[in-house]
């Protein structure tokens, strides 16, 4: 299916690794021009090499997403290079383990800066350009907003707020024809997930326990499966879809675990 993304300018935060990398690679395969925002030099170098090998049209803009001015500069630089923005994909974040008991008010605020505020900041600064293209925004959330996890108040609060902002922005931006949707992963084996799983005494046993609770095929969702849904929402093929929170999780969040 032609998603009609050729020459569209798509911003992907955290687009150099994990789910973000899968979104980036999927977007360039559709002929889009991708702007990757992130602070990791290593991830930037690695994704740049992959994209050069694919002869893709892209830019990597090193951005400290928790800094408001950096967010503004990233949007302005995108416009200076490409002259337009068609899609903003807010993806970057980290499950940082800032809990209620083992945390602090200061760490909670820091977690919100890392996981929530840049979603608003980038959307705010990109909005004038999204109005011109009747573009769209896609927020990547997490099942923790619905299920809870324990020990991660900052991340869960951020993800809950992202769901609320998705619906709020979908309403506010209706007059401009700008669509806003969310995609919610549950268990996706990314480099960040790999680092987390290795903190357990028996990682293999922990993995087996997790996959046994994923109803569809008892396996992790792949990053590519998340990316496919994101790109569908980004495209004109889903031109009448807005305000939706889509779960791409093998039924993990809502189906009876007794299955």
What is the distance between the terminal CA atoms of the chain, rounded to a whole angstrom?
33
Name the catalytic one among 82, 119, 129, 155: 155
Q: In 3-state terms, what secondary structure has residue 132?
A: helix
Task: Provide the b/e sequence for 133-169 (b: ≥16 CB within 10 Å).
Answer: eebbbbbbbbbbbbeebeebbbbbbbbbbbbebbbeb
Closest CA relative to residue 13, chosen from 152, 116, 131, 148? 116
Q: Is 155 a catalytic residue?
A: yes
Contacts for 247 with CB less than 8 Å, ≥ 6 apart: 143, 184, 186, 253, 254
Closest CA relative to residue 155, chosen from 103, 110, 95? 95
Q: Which residues are catalytic?
A: 155
């Amino acid at each position: 299916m032609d998603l009609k993304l050729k020459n569209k300018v798509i911003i992907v935060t955290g687009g150099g690794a994990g789910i973000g990398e899968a979104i980036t690679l999927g977007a360039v395969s559709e002929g889009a021009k991708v702007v990757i925002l992130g602070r990791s030099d290593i991830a930037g170098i690695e994704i740049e090499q992959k994209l050069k090998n694919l002869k893709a049209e892209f830019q990597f803009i090193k951005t400290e997403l928790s800094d408001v001015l950096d967010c503004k500069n990233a949007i302005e630089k995108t416009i200076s290079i490409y002259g337009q923005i068609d899609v903003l994909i807010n993806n970057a974040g980290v499950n940082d383990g800032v809990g209620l008991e083992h945390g602090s008010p200061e760490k909670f605020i820091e977690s919100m800066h890392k996981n929530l505020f840049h979603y608003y900041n980038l959307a705010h600064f990109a909005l004038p350009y999204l109005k011109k293209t009747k573009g769209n925004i896609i927020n990547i959330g997490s099942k923790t907003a619905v299920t809870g996890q324990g020990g991660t108040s900052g991340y869960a609060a951020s993800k809950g707020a992202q769901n609320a902002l998705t619906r709020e922005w979908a309403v506010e931006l209706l007059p401009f024809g700008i669509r806003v949707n969310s995609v919610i992963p549950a268990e996706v084996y990314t480099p960040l997930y790999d680092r987390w799983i290795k903190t357990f005494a028996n990682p293999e046993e922990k993995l087996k326990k997790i996959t046994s609770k994923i109803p569809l095929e008892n396996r992790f969702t792949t990053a590519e499966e998340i990316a496919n849904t994101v790109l569908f929402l980004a495209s004109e093929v889903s031109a009448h879809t807005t305000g939706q929170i889509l779960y791409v999780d093998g039924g993990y969040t809502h189906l009876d675990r007794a299955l």
